[in-house]
Amino acid sequence: RAKRPAGAPDRKLARPVTKVGIIGAGLMARQFALLFVRRLQVPVLLTDINQERLDLALAYIHDQIATLKEKGRIGDDEAKRLNALVSTTTNLSDFSDADWVIEAIFEELTAKQDVFADVEKYAPDSAIFATNTSSLSVDAIGSKLLHPERLVGFHFFNPVAVMPLLEVVRASKTDDAALATAMDTAKALQKSAVITTDSPGFVVNRLLARLLGEAMHAIDNGTPLAVIDGGLKPFGLPMTPCELLELVGLKVGAHVLDTHYAAFPDRFYRSDNLHALADHGKLLARDKKGAVTGFDKGAEA
């Protein structure tokens, strides 16, 4: 018999997930929508602050479903069914029958607290709430909820379709039903879940922040890109530190470094330069084929 992961509660406590609500339509949220319809085959409703953002997310999802069809991973009927399962709304009252709600908006504590407090007005009492925060405290995010015991951390890695790991964060108030539902959902999504405590960066970002922080420290102190990034390719990491920073997004990367520095200033590095680059939007300049040619001009300024 398969062993239950360390700290996992009894599976019998898990609640069924028949409709998924996703708060946010950005880089991660739109990838969740695709994963949830594909693996759970249930309706998925995305919400964001305006319809333009939702339309961009829908275009991405339709495009990815078309790619899966082209690759022969799904047939025509399946593609049509998956497309039909995704819908959008700008009105949180449409979450009235969502039994699993996952949030993936920008990393700002008050914004996350407020949106969950709003969702709680409309979602069923039995609904489980999940946050994809990468480095904020899950307890703090749930502090404006009437029922914080229903909130669990559910932290994916980018690219969501490809990365097999998922961190399930048990905050101090998370109850067994929320944790069991999260573990069941992770399994249905075909991810390997590890249960972590609610501490800064959980497990993975605690490790990654050291790597990315050291890379930024080297860059900020004049180490050439050819050494710190391109030069590291033969080390065998799937991506170099700068490529990884671009993948996760410079704003998210800067935020992750800040959070770790705030919690453990003697062990982590934060970079003002990375914040400036995040405003500029790019770190690496590439040629037409996508090969890295150096720092982006803005980065050198």
Least Cα distance to 134 among 227, 33, 203, 212 occurs for: 203
236 or 238: CB nearest ligand CAA: 238
Nearer to ligand CAA, 8 or 35 (CB): 35
Site for ligand CAA (CB under 6 A): which residue of 88, 131, 134, 181? 134
Going by the DSSP 8-state scheme, the letter that residue 150 receives in this structure is G
Which residues from 254-283 bind ligand CAA, rule CB under 6 A?
Answer: 256
**Per rule CB under 6 A, is residue 158 in the interface with ligand CAA?**
yes
**Which of 47, 205, 240, 271 touches ligand CAA by CB under 6 A?**
205
Q: Does 207 bind ligand CAA (CB under 6 A)?
A: no
CA separation for the pair 68, 56 (Å, rounded): 19
Q: Among residues 20, 21, 24, which one has the least CA distance to residue 40?
A: 20
Kind of pairing between the strands at 100-103 and 20-23: parallel
Report the nearest approach of ligand CAA to the CB of residue 66 (Å). Answer: 13
Regarding 157 and contact with ligand CAA (CB under 6 A), the answer is yes
Known active-site residue 255: no
Minimum CB separation of residue 280 from ligand CAA in Å reads 19
Listed residue (295, 184, 197, 180) closest to 240, CA to CA: 295
> CB nearest ligand CAA: which residue?
134
166 binds ligand CAA (CB under 6 A): no
Q: Does residue 131 bind ligand CAA (CB under 6 A)?
A: no
Q: Which long-range contacts (CB under 8 A, 24 or more apart) does 143-147 make?
A: 143/113, 144/113, 144/114, 144/116, 144/117, 145/116, 145/117, 145/120, 146/120, 147/120
Q: Which of 49, 109, 111, 163 binds ligand CAA (CB under 6 A)?
A: 163
Tokens 């953002």, located at residue: 53
Q: Which residues are near ligand CAA by CB under 6 A?
A: 134, 157-159, 161-163, 205, 208, 238-239, 244, 247-248, 252, 256
Active-site amino acid positions: 155
